[in-house]
Amino acid sequence: MLAADHKQRAAKIASALARAIPHPNIELTFTSPLELLVATILSAQCTDERVNKVTAALFKKYRDASGYAAAPPGALEEDIRPTGFYQNKAKALRAMAARLVERHGGRVPDTMEDLTALPGVGRKTANVILGGAFGKPGIVVDTHVIRVSGRLGLSRQGDPVKIENDLMALLPEREWTAFSQRLVLFGRYTCKAKIPLCGECPLFALCQWKDKEKFAKKA
């Protein structure tokens, strides 16, 4: 496919998604960059709904980075146990917070370089923070975006960084954050991994997935 044609398809997909999901809000509950960073770390292999239940109490107990850094490991583990992998997550939270205190005065930085230098923070998490907390353009590539971008033919890559680069090249920078968040929500509720809702999909005509007809008939 020619590059120009590929961009035109991407623009049509972006427009259709914008009509279907006009307000692509992050489903994690937060009131500050630190709260979003903590919630995003906890969301690994866990639903946003469960994370929000845990952070309702967690954010009242730990008010700043110093609080997380000084938290006794066992206590923090118990506080976040329902999110799963709680030992690793507690370790990541304490190390991340300690680095914030040591290098950033306890404040969450607003650059990709500084965010990814924090323990437990990769490009996906950093892009969530940049877009959700600071309003800076970024493409979040999670499991939903990987799946949906492949089915739609937006990227044939399997590596998240390569997918991120492919999507960035297709759309204007100002659209990156909203577009990727729409892909996340679209993958979560419509283009599901096991039983996608192809029969009611607003992108059905634009989709290049070979199995879409099969799942459309099951609807």
pLDDT digits (tens, 9 = 90+) for 174-207: 999 999 999 999 999 999 999 999 999 999 999 9
pLDDT tier at 136, thresholds 50, 70, 90: very high
Domain spans of the chain?
A: 3-24+139-218, 33-134
Mean pLDDT of 135-157: 96
| Distance in angstroms (rounded) separating the CA atoms of residues 39 and 27 | 10
* pTM recorded for the entire structure: 0.94
Active centre residues (catalytic): 124, 142
| Distance in angstroms (rounded) separating the CA atoms of residues 94 and 77 | 10
pLDDT tens track for 82-111:
999 999 999 999 999 999 999 999 999 999
| Distance in angstroms (rounded) separating the CA atoms of residues 142 and 46 | 13
Does domain 3-24+139-218 fall under CATH 3.90.550.10? My reply is no
User: What is the DSSP secondary structure assignment for residue 153, as one 8-state letter?
Assistant: T
In the CATH hierarchy, which fold is given to the domain comprising 33-134? Endonuclease III; domain 1 (1.10.340)
pLDDT tens track for 7-55:
999 999 999 999 999 999 999 999 999 999 999 999 999 999 999 999 9
Token pair, residue 50, equals: 């469960």
Given a cut of 90, is residue 3 above it in pLDDT?
no
